[in-house]
């Protein structure tokens, strides 16, 4: 059977979500998927970026990561979105990309895909779950199949977020628990998408 296509579409200003996205990519590849890791375009003013050296540094370090396009969404059987929490919501950079997808949605090219999401915030109760749930609003509108990690692996009892892999950025870069949770989330998404793909091919 042909492999599952997985797009990982993320925004990261200072690298935490990027690191999670890489672990998601590893997990998806290990589960047998073809993977596209894509960052969305930066939309912040230069002055805002330049006010934060970590932002400047991360932008330069990831300049070679391809930018997300509509083709990545059309191509994918499953999409994992990653975003920092911004006042309990997804970053406007990711929303800006999502807000260009009207034509794809209207043409029925997004419905039926598998979706999942991951995030980072500066504090443990700083809106990680609300950020993921806010993204889920869009998945509903797209007619997507939402696949959360739940507590489907022992790592979830350590990482503690059944909604999607989450990291507290003030604790340092994502550690092994968050990375393992990210890989597990990806594996679960790939397994679900593979089962759907196989079932649909039989119809």
Ligand X SMILES: Cc1cc2nc3c(=O)[nH]c(=O)nc-3n(C[C@H](O)[C@H](O)[C@H](O)COP(=O)(O)O)c2cc1C
> Where along the sequence are the contacts to ligand X (CB under 6 A)?
12-18, 84-88, 120-123, 126-127, 169
Q: Report the C-alpha gap between 189 and 3 in whole angstroms.
A: 13
Q: Report the C-alpha gap between 30 and 146 in whole angstroms.
A: 21
Residue number, 16 or 156, with CB nearest to ligand X: 16
Q: Are 39 and 93 in contact, with CB atoms under 8 Å apart?
A: no
Q: Report the C-alpha gap between 156 and 58 in whole angstroms.
A: 28
Q: Minimum distance between the CB of residue 12 and ligand X, rounded to whole angstroms?
A: 3
Residue number, 18 or 188, with CB nearest to ligand X: 18
Closest-CB residue for ligand X?
126
Residue number, 48 or 198, with CB nearest to ligand X: 48
Q: Minimum distance between the CB of residue 75 and ligand X, rounded to whole angstroms?
A: 24
Q: Report the C-alpha gap between 66 and 73 in whole angstroms.
A: 14
Residue number, 16 or 161, with CB nearest to ligand X: 16
Helix (H, G, I), strand (E, B) or coil at 55: helix
Residue number, 143 or 175, with CB nearest to ligand X: 175
Residue number, 103 or 125, with CB nearest to ligand X: 125
Q: Minimum distance between the CB of residue 167 and ligand X, rounded to whole angstroms?
A: 7
Q: Are 56 and 29 in contact, with CB atoms under 8 Å apart?
A: no
Helix (H, G, I), strand (E, B) or coil at 67: strand
Provide the β-strand partners of residue 114.
78, 145
Q: Minimum distance between the CB of residue 1 and ligand X, rounded to whole angstroms?
A: 35
Q: Are 15 and 169 in contact, with CB atoms under 8 Å apart?
A: no
What is the longest distance spanned by two Cα atoms in the chain? 55
Q: Minimum distance between the CB of residue 41 and ligand X, rounded to whole angstroms?
A: 15
Q: Minimum distance between the CB of residue 112 and ligand X, rounded to whole angstroms?
A: 29
């Amino acid at each position: 059977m042909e492999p599952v296509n997985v797009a990982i579409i993320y925004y990261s200003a200072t690298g935490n979500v990027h690191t999670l996205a890489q672990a998601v990519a590893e997990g998806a590849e290990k589960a047998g998927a073809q993977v596209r890791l894509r960052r969305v375009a930066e939309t912040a003013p230069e002055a805002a970026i330049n006010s934060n050296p970590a932002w400047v540094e991360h932008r330069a370090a990831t300049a070679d990561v391809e930018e997300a396009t509509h083709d990545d969404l059309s191509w994918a059987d499953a999409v994992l979105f990653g975003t920092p929490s911004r006042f309990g919501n997804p970053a406007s950079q990711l929303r800006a990309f999502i807000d260009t997808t009207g034509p794809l949605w209207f043409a029925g090219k997004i419905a039926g895909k598998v979706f999942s999401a991951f995030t980072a915030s500066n504090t443990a109760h700083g809106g990680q779950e609300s950020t993921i749930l806010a993204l889920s609003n869009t998945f509903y509108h797209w007619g997507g199949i939402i696949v959360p990690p739940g507590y489907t692996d022992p790592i979830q009892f350590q990482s503690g977020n059944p909604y999607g892999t989450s990291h507290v950025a003030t604790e340092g870069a994502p550690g092994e628990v968050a990375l393992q949770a990210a890989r597990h989330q990806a594996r679960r998404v790939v397994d679900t998408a593979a089962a759907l793909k196989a079932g649909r091919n039989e119809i």
